[in-house]
Amino acid sequence: MKQRLVQLSLGLTTVGLTLGLALLLSCASGQERRPDVIFVPTPQPVVERMLELAKVTKADVVYDLGCGDGRIVVTAAKKYGCKAVGFDIDPVRVKESLENVRKNGVEDLVKIEQKDIFTLDLSGASVITLYLLTSLNEKLVPQLQKMKPGSRIVSHSFEIPGYEPDKVERVNADGFERTVYLYTIPLRKKSQQE
């Protein structure tokens, strides 16, 4: 009996250690990285206005950081014929975006990648779209500041704190007023009084 109990407790300890190690390894490899903000889609009229405000043309490359169902990159490619890349950390969103790209026949222009946006080199983009949170926009500033001068950033609802927008516009959608912020690289710091 005593021997069975020792065997059982040894077995449980091994299972516990194995699970602990697996968790540690998956965290270390980034597999357990959760979205920093949940998926809430930007209403289509706001998507359209964001791209207009950024003056997107065929020559642009649009990155949507946290692309959700891919509506912004799909709209950019369909409307302007430009290249676009959507990044999302959530595999469900990546699957939805890929389906959206396929349904709209823009596979030649749009790529979707499962990546953490805070690990990205943004120098390949000329336009960035955001619908995240003020705190996440702030965290992105060092990456944004490395983009080519003249690149544009449009953010739905949330500003980049401490930086002067070129334009702030209100857009009506679904019976609510949404705010869109436009910035140009290099970002300009707000003066102290503001």
Ligand X SMILES: C[S@@+](CC[C@H](N)C(=O)[O-])C[C@H]1O[C@@H](n2cnc3c(N)ncnc32)[C@H](O)[C@@H]1O
Token duo for residue 34: 């959760």
Contact 70, 96 (CB under 8 A): yes
**Which one, 126 or 129, has the nearer CB to ligand X?**
129
Binding of residue 85 to ligand X (CB under 6 A): no
CB of 72 to ligand X, least distance (A): 5
CB of 190 to ligand X, least distance (A): 25
- Report the alpha-carbon distance of residue 119 to residue 110 in Å, rounded: 20
Neighbours of 15 (CB within 10 A): 10
Beta-carbon contacts of 41 under 8 Å, excluding residues fewer than 6 positions away, are 68, 69, 71
Q: Among 27, 37, 59, 168, which residue sits at the site for ligand X (rule: CB under 6 A)?
A: 37
71-99 in b/e form (b: 16+ CB < 10 A) is bbbbbbbeebebbbbbbbbbeebbebbbe
- Report the alpha-carbon distance of residue 123 to residue 148 in Å, rounded: 6
Binding of residue 165 to ligand X (CB under 6 A): no
Piece of the chain touching ligand X by CB under 6 A; list 3-11, 33-41, 162-170, 178-186? 33-41
Binding of residue 27 to ligand X (CB under 6 A): no
Binding of residue 96 to ligand X (CB under 6 A): no
Q: Among 83, 88, 110, 126, which residue sits at the site for ligand X (rule: CB under 6 A)?
A: 88
List residues binding ligand X (CB under 6 A): 35-37, 39-42, 64, 66-68, 71-72, 87-90, 93, 116-118, 131, 156
